[in-house]
Amino acid sequence: MDQKGILIVISGFSGAGKGTLVRKLMEVHNEYVLSVSMTTRAPRVGEREGVEYFFTEREQFEETIRQNGLIEYASYCGNYYGTPRKYVEEQLTAGKNVILEIEIQGALKIKAQFPESLLIFLTPPSGEELKRRLEGRGTESAEVIARRLARAVEESEGVESYDYIVVNDVLEECVEEVHNLVGAARRAPVRQRAFIKEIREELQKFSKGAD
Amino acid sequence: MDQKGILIVISGFSGAGKGTLVRKLMEVHNEYVLSVSMTTRAPRVGEREGVEYFFTEREQFEETIRQNGLIEYASYCGNYYGTPRKYVEEQLTAGKNVILEIEIQGALKIKAQFPESLLIFLTPPSGEELKRRLEGRGTESAEVIARRLARAVEESEGVESYDYIVVNDVLEECVEEVHNLVGAARRAPVRQRAFIKEIREELQKFSKGAD
């Protein structure tokens, strides 16, 4: 069986708990690593170079694009965001499952380039609970909450493009469920190409009596 | 989440241990049932009506086809084989996972009619091991073994149509792996239609401020 890591995209509604899930998954299972995005956006207070993002200048970002150094990138509110290729490919080769925490547009670009990537969409148990979580932070105005909900409506339009939809209700259960889905994904034909090729060749040889 | 059962097709190489796997799976987990096929073939010694097959006359079989009473059927060596619709639909509604042990042509017909069905292809760990298992029975001539191997080559051409390819090496592990795949399959969007519809409707309502 193929021992290369799996490229995992985690998307989901704002408030679905993506960040918490990813941190816990990496804490419990050491075969996961998180890809850190590159951005031209200025660091916010508390953000650390190479942890939340790799912060870079516009010229450097565009040069990286030209050198095919990003596996996907997008422009959002006048800033670039992208996924550096080198780290992802190195980690996959080393057998690590690489997690990208990105949105649907990026997710679809990843799937087009890497058909064997795994797209997971994270959701709270219900729309009601999602709304409650957004409000529960207590830090946002009604207007901001309404805008996030409108965004969630848009995000919900894309969920059929994902391989799996996972409900984040109890964190520990959700972590194990995602881990099991990654195990299941290893059994999909798209991730068993080497094995399929090998068994076909063996069978052909045997059936011709060449053994 | 949808509580209907999942329709599971198990195919695989002759010698992959499909029958043993299915029996063990039903023994360990009580939410699985096996669909019994209808056939016009004569019973062999030891075969029991309603256990191995429902044995029937040609006229009766063709009448069942006309009444849309089979979800798939095929003709093989001059005999009909088919899957009765009523039992499958009743069991799925009751929340049971219904297993069909059929070959690729039937599997593809099932997937076309039931996009939410789950197709699993079972294989020994290698072509070498498959050959050994076929020979190991000690009951077949070299010619029969060669014919089965040739058939396995054909079967191997269809594996990409399956959702998952599972290696049957240690039976108990294989049983749990298949059970986990069925759990994973519940998280695919095609089997989450009711949940997706519901959360979309809720979100739309909330974002319009109608709560």
- Tens-place pLDDT, residues A90-145: 999 999 999 999 988 899 999 999 999 999 999 998 888 887 877 766 777 888 88
At residue A211, the pLDDT reads 46
Q: For the range B154-157, what are the long-range contacts, defined as Cβ-Cβ under 8 Å and sequence gap of 24 or more?
A: B155/B11, B155/B12, B155/B13, B155/B103, B155/B104, B156/A196, B156/A199, B156/A200, B156/A203, B156/B13, B157/A200
Please indicate whether, in this complex, the C-beta atoms of B159 and A196 are within 8 angstroms of each other: yes
User: What pLDDT score does A77 carry?
Assistant: 83
Mean pLDDT, chain A, as a whole number? 90
End-to-end CA distance of chain B: 23
CA dist A141 and A144 (Å) reads 5
* pLDDT tens, residue by residue, B75-129: 888 999 999 999 999 999 999 999 999 988 899 999 999 999 999 999 998 888 8
B79-84 vs B97-101, strand pairing mode = unpaired
Reported confidence tier of residue A206, pLDDT bands at 50, 70, 90: confident
Given a cut of 90, is residue A61 above it in pLDDT? yes
Give the lowest-confidence range in A114-123, A130-139, A198-207, B23-32: A130-139
Of B123, B180, B192, the CB nearest to A180: B180
Percentage with pLDDT > 90 across chain A: 67
B138 close to A159: Cβ distance less than 8 angstroms: no
Q: Name residue B74's beta-bridge partners.
A: B81
What is the structure's pLDDT at B211?
46
Cβ <8 Å between B149 and A207: yes
The count of other CB atoms within 10 Å of the CB of residue A15 is: 23
Contact between chains at B206 and A127 (C-beta distance less than 8 A): yes
Residue B195: pLDDT over 80? yes
pLDDT at residue B26 tops 70: yes
Nearest Cα residue in chain B from A146: B207
Q: Between A149, A159, A188, which is nearest B189 by CB?
A: A159
Compute, in degrees rounded to 10, the torsion defined by CA atoms B47, B50, B54, B55: 40
pTM for the full predicted model = 0.88
**ipTM of the complex as predicted:** 0.85
For helices B127-136 and A193-207, the axis angle rounded to 10 degrees is 50
Q: What is the pLDDT of residues B121-174, one digit of tens each?
A: 999 988 888 878 777 667 778 887 887 788 888 888 889 999 999 999 999 999
Q: A177 — contact with chain B (CB < 8 Å)?
A: yes
At residue B210, the pLDDT reads: 46
